[in-house]
Amino acid sequence: MGYTSFTLTLVTELLAKFNPKSVIDLGAQNNYAQPKLPAPYMKEWYEEQKIDYLAIDINNENGAAPLDLSKPLPVDFIERCDMLVDAGTSEHVSDGKGGHDIKAIYNCWKTKNDLLNIGGIMLNENPKTGNWPGHGCNYYTQDFYIKLAELQGYELLSLQENAAMGNVTDGWNVTCVLRKVNDHKFISLETFKLCGIKTS
């Protein structure tokens, strides 16, 4: 997992436009937008920007909060943020054996929603259906985001497809920026199924 130059450019634009004071990353992300290897953690970059930062990663890597995104958010977890970034993480949320589980990915999306303050920005960059074969167990389409925004009441700020690191053969991602504009409870599992998340 990590930020590419595409990801970091988009994040930088969002920081300039919306001035979030706090960011939560799904995954202990590395910064692959610069040439230095091994790639440093994004935590260092955000701290240089004077932004409160937290990563969530079940492996507790680099001090990330060790939460299992396939499970409901613990009631005693109080962190909230002005911007949440899912850059290549939610496609891996599974049944614990690497397989697709609609309830697991629903729990992940409910957590994403619940971590975000009202008015907060959510950046999602994940594999497009039919791409990155074998990489994850949840794949996205533009229609998924359009339906989700409609059903949850998000403001859909941008929606595009990009070939990660120039892989135009089978490396396309769907990138969507949403804004949480209300305090509605997250949609039910049955309603979430209507968004049509894919398994390959």
pLDDT tens track for 35-58: 888 999 999 999 999 999 999 999
CATH number of domain containing 17:
3.40.50.150
198 occurs within a structural domain: no
Return the pLDDT at 1: 66
119 occurs within a structural domain: yes
Q: Can you say whether the dihedral through the CA atoms of 193, 144, 167, 10 is positive or negative?
A: negative
User: For the chain, what is the domain count?
Assistant: 1
74 occurs within a structural domain: yes
199 occurs within a structural domain: no
Give the side-chain half-sphere CA count within 13 A for 44.
9
Task: Provide the residue range defining the domain that includes 46.
Answer: 2-193
Buried b (16+ CB within 10 A) or exposed e, 91-125: bbbbeeeeebbeebbbbbbbbbbebbbeebbbbbb
The pTM score is 0.96
200 occurs within a structural domain: no
Rounded CA-CA distance 158/3 in Å is: 18
127: how many CB neighbours lie within 10 A of its CB? 24
Rounded CA-CA distance 14/31 in Å is: 17
* pLDDT tens for the 200 residues of the chain, in order: 699 999 999 999 999 999 999 999 999 999 999 988 899 999 999 999 999 999 999 999 999 999 999 999 999 999 999 999 999 999 999 999 889 999 999 999 999 999 999 999 999 999 999 999 988 999 999 999 999 999 999 999 999 999 998 899 999 999 999 999 999 999 999 999 999 998 88
66 occurs within a structural domain: yes
For 168, phi then psi, to 5°, come to -85, -5
Rounded CA-CA distance 52/78 in Å is: 14
